[in-house]
Amino acid sequence: MNTINDKWLRIVGITLILAFSITGNGFHRQPLTGDILLRIFISLVSITITWHVIRAIVFHFRQKYFSRKDIWKRLLLTFLAGSVATTVSLWVTGAIRYWVTHGTLLGYHSYGHTASITINKATIALNLYGFDFVQAAVNFIFFQTIYETLFFARDSALYQKKLRLAEKEQEKLRTANLQSQLDALKQQVNPHFLFNSLNVLDSLIEDDPKQARVFLEELSTVYRYLLRANDQHLTELGAELDFIQSYYHLLKTRHGSGLTMNVTIDDRYQTYRLPPLTLQLLVENAVKHNIVLPDQPLSIDILTDAQSHLQVRNTIQRKTVRVASNGVGLTNILTKYQMLNQPKPIIQETDGQFIVTLPLIANSIE
C-alpha cells in the first residue's frame, strides 16, 4: 500500500502556499483588477502543477522501492529526482507565467540575471543553475518530509492494527488449544477407579448386601457429578465437598483404616467457586502415589485459610514401586486455572507433606 488519501492535505496545502504567494508578491495591497486575478490564477496553476509533480515522484519511488532494506536508496533517489523535477517545474511554470503576463519570453528570468539561454535568437535570463537547484531541493525536502511523515504515521497505524489482530488471533489459538487440552483432560478420569469400584461392589453384594446398596448409591452420585461437571467451568465449593465425601466413601470402603480424610472449611467459603473435579483429582493423586495400608495410613486434609485459599494436604509415603504417571491430575488443574485467567495454584512439598494451594473464586466467571 504505497498511496495515501491526501486530498485534504493538497487542498489546504495549495491554499496556504497560494496565500503566501499573494502576500509575498504584494497582490493583496493592489486593486483587484483582471491582471491581478490572472496572476493569482497562474500562481495557483503553478503551485498545483509543482505539488503534483512532487507527489507523483514520491509515490513512484515508494512504489518501486517498497522494501525496508531499500529505504535509504529510495530516499536518495526520490530527493535527486524530485529536486531536478522541481527545478524544471519552477522554470517551466515561471516561464509560462511570464509569457501569459508579458506575451513573450524575452526578458524572462527565474529570480535573477546571472545566467541566460538563447532559443531562436530569443534570450531568456535565468539564475545560476546551482542556485535554482538548491532552492528547488529545499522546497522538495519540505514536501518530501511532509509525505514521509504521513506515510510513517499511516504505516505505524497499520502496524499497530496488524499487531492487535495478530495478538487477538494468537489469543484465540491459545484459548482454542487450552480448550482442546481441557476437553481431552476431562475424559481422562482414571478408568481403574471404575473397575476397582465394581470389584468392591461385587464383593459387597455377597458379603454385605446392605453396604453394597449404600456403596452403589455413592457410586451413582459420583458418576452423576462427573458427567455434570464436564459441562461446567466452575462449581461451588459446597457442591465439590459433597461430591468428595461420596468419592471418599468409595475409597474408604476399599481401603478401610488405611485412609483418613479430614475436612475443615470455613462456612463463608461454601459459595466460593473452583473448577469442578479439582478435589477428586488431588485425592486420587494422593491415593495413587502413596502407600495406603492400615498400619501405614494415608492422611488427607482439606482446609481453607483467611486468604480465600483452599489447601489439600496429604502425608508423603511414596510407594516403593514407581507408579506410572502421565501427570494428568495436576496438569488438568493447572490448565483449568489458566483458562479462567486465575492465579496459578501453588504445589509444594514440605515437612513430609504434599500441599496444593488453590485460589477460591468469589464470583462466577462466564
What was the pLDDT predicted at 151? 80
Three-state SS for the chain is CCCCCCHHHHHHHHHHHHHHHHHHCCHHHCCCCHHHHHHHHHHHHHHHHHHHHHHHHHHHHHHHCCCHHHHHHHHHHHHHHHHHHHHHHHHHHHHHHHHHHHCCCCCCCCCCCCEEEEECCEEEEECCHHHHHHHHHHHHHHHHHHHHHHHHHHHHHHHHHHHHHHHHHHHHHHHHHHHHHHHHHHCCCCHHHHHHHHHHHHHHHHHCHHHHHHHHHHHHHHHHHHHHHCCCCCEEHHHHHHHHHHHHHHHHHHHHHHEEEEEECCHHHCCCEECCCHHHHHHHHHHHHECCECCECEEEEEEECCCCEEEEEEECCECCCCCCCCCHHHHHHHHHHHHCCCCCCEEEEECCEEEEEEECECCCCC
pLDDT per residue of the chain (366 residues) written in tens, 0 to 9: 556 677 777 787 778 878 877 787 677 677 777 777 877 887 788 788 878 888 888 888 887 777 777 778 888 888 888 788 777 777 777 777 777 777 776 666 555 444 455 555 555 545 444 445 666 777 777 777 887 788 888 878 887 888 888 888 878 767 766 665 555 555 545 566 676 777 777 778 877 888 888 888 888 888 888 777 767 788 899 999 999 999 898 889 889 999 999 999 999 999 999 988 889 889 988 998 999 999 999 999 999 998 999 999 999 998 877 665 555 668 878 888 887 888 999 999 988 999 999 999 987 544
In order of their start, the domains of the chain are 7-167 (no CATH), 190-359 (3.30.565.10)
